[in-house]
A and B are shown apart, each in its own frame.
Chain A
Amino acid sequence: MIKVQKDDFDINKEIKKITSLNKNIGGTGLFIGNVREGKNSELKSMTLEHYPIMTERQLEKINNEAKARWNLIDSLIIHRYGKLYPGDQIVLVATFSRHRTDALNACEFLIDWLKTKAPFWKLEESNQGSTWVKERNSDLDAANKW
């Protein structure tokens, strides 16, 4: 399932909603991304912009790719947009399988791919002004390894 939303999410509730429906889930892979405050607590806020509809479509495609590559019982991606503050949750990737290897690998794959393939852009706001976050080579390398 894909959710693109402004609101925060409750990880425990989201996971239990899925595990309660399928008693064959033996392992859950989990990634949670949070807003970092950076050096000297300089970040005041971060605004995530996205391309509605394309975002959902891209996440769905990435999710389908994960389902094709690994033996997953279910998967969940929640990605927030709007204005967030240091410590806030940005993204949740959860993958569910019978055994841990599929869940863990698929989870890492999903976060690696959505970093560079989901149409989000981050504007960091500090006392020095606002700056759009640039693409990182390490993120490209991580996406390309799959």
Chain B
Amino acid sequence: MQIKYFSWVKDQIGQESENITITEQIITVKDLINYLKKKNDKYAKAFADDSVIRCAVNMEVTDLNHKISDNDEIAFFPPMTGG
């Protein structure tokens, strides 16, 4: 699974993207966040408040209950500020 990070989420985690191998316990985006939070303090801090995290699965904005699979590209970012 390809994961991408943008804006301050990227800054806090310290990388733009990474590949992880999905395990059975990860069914939704929320499960993925909980898995990442356990990796280390950087992730724990970046995902400390779910309410400021937005996500896209295969470049479509979704909510955190969206189901994901190994072939998906998941992106995490703060609210968008275009224009």
Binary CB contact string for chain A from 93 to 127 against chain B (1 if under 8 A, 0 otherwise): 00000000000000000010011111111110000
- Taking a contact as CB atoms under 8 Å apart, the answer to whether A115 and B82 are in contact is yes
- Taking a contact as CB atoms under 8 Å apart, the answer to whether A119 and B80 are in contact is yes
- Taking a contact as CB atoms under 8 Å apart, the answer to whether A51 and B81 are in contact is no
A73 contacts chain B at the CB level, 8 A cutoff: no
Of all chain B residues, the one with the shortest Cβ separation from A62 is B82
> What class of interface size applies to chain A in its complex with B?
20 to 34
Given contacts A51-B56, A53-B59, A57-B59, contact A79 B82 (CB under 8 A): yes
- Give which listed residue, A54, A121, A132, contacts B56 with CB less than 8 A: A54
- Taking a contact as CB atoms under 8 Å apart, the answer to whether A132 and B7 are in contact is yes
- Taking a contact as CB atoms under 8 Å apart, the answer to whether B82 and A119 are in contact is yes
- Taking a contact as CB atoms under 8 Å apart, the answer to whether B56 and A119 are in contact is yes
Q: Which residues of B contact A51 (CB under 8 A)?
A: 4, 6, 56, 59, 75, 77
CA–CA, A49 to B59, complex, Å?
A: 15
Q: Which residues of A contact B7 (CB under 8 A)?
A: 49, 121, 123, 132
**Chain A interface residues (CB < 8 Å from chain B):** 33, 49, 51, 53-54, 57, 79, 90-91, 111, 114-123, 132-135, 139
User: Known contacts A51-B56, A111-B83; can you find 7 more A-B pairs with CB under 8 A?
Assistant: A51-B4, A51-B6, A54-B59, A57-B59, A119-B56, A132-B11, A133-B81
